[in-house]
Amino acid sequence: MSRPIVRSQILRAVLAGAVLAIAPAAFPLAAWAQAPQKPATPPKAAPGKPAAPTPAVPTPAANTQAPAFAPSHMALAREVMLSSGIARSFDSIIPAFSEQIRQNAVTRPELGKDLDEVLVGLQPEMEMQKQAMIDTAARIYATRLTEAELADIAAFFRSPAGKRYVETQPQVLDGIVQAMQGWTQEVSEYVMVRVRTEMVKRGHQLQ
């Protein structure tokens, strides 16, 4: 049981760390922040043609033919999703996007008040987006784990040891990331030295 839990927690760290990398791509607002823009006006529909529909609110990609699960199966999957601590990675995503927008608008101080009010007003919608991702992740759990397996995992997370496990994960993962920084450099050098040594034995010189 511990192996999939550990792998999922490492995924949580990767997701949290990737947010700042994808935020600029998701919000290419640098040009927008440099100079005032004309107020947007909705395009006029051509005579006899209906107006263009409003863009749909984005939701996490899902299989349109996703298998149906019993409510009890999905409830356990959602419980594991939340109690494992993985959902904490989603908590940082929306604030990171909002902060990216603020940084891109730093040269437009006249936007500050309105921008802050807009971002605050959008929080309920952003919370819905986060809950949609949690539901998607729970369905992925249900796809990969049986109801009985999820019940065992949920029982672990309800236990004192499971709660302590989740509590210490941020610090544990921080330590692992720090250790890996030195380890990757050492392993890289070690592998190169060993490959050169073995290639010399075969009559080859590597630069």
Please say if the pLDDT value at position 110 is more than 70.
yes
**Could you tell me if 26 and 109 lie in one domain?**
yes
Looking at the fold, whether 122 and 149 belong to one and the same domain comes out as yes
Q: Is residue 52 part of a domain?
A: no
**SS3 of 63, please?**
coil
This prediction's pTM: 0.59
The answer to which of 20-24, 74-78, 101-105 has the lowest mean pLDDT is: 20-24
- Give the model's pLDDT for residue 111: 85
Same domain flag for 182 and 145: no
Same domain, yes or no: 202 and 141: no
- Are 74 and 6 in the same domain? yes
Q: Is residue 108 part of a domain?
A: yes
Task: Tell which wins on pLDDT, 146 or 38.
Answer: 146
**Statement to judge: residues 194 and 144 lie in one domain:** no
Q: How far apart are the C-alpha atoms of 202 and 96, rounded to whole Å?
A: 53
- Both 113 and 180 in one domain: the answer is no
Which residue reads 């603020």 in tokens?
A: 102
Q: Are residues 191 and 125 in the same domain?
A: no
Report the pLDDT value the prediction gives residue 8, as an integer from 0 to 100.
43
Question: To 10 degrees, what angle do helices 123-144 and 93-104 make?
Answer: 140
Domain that holds residue 180: 169-207
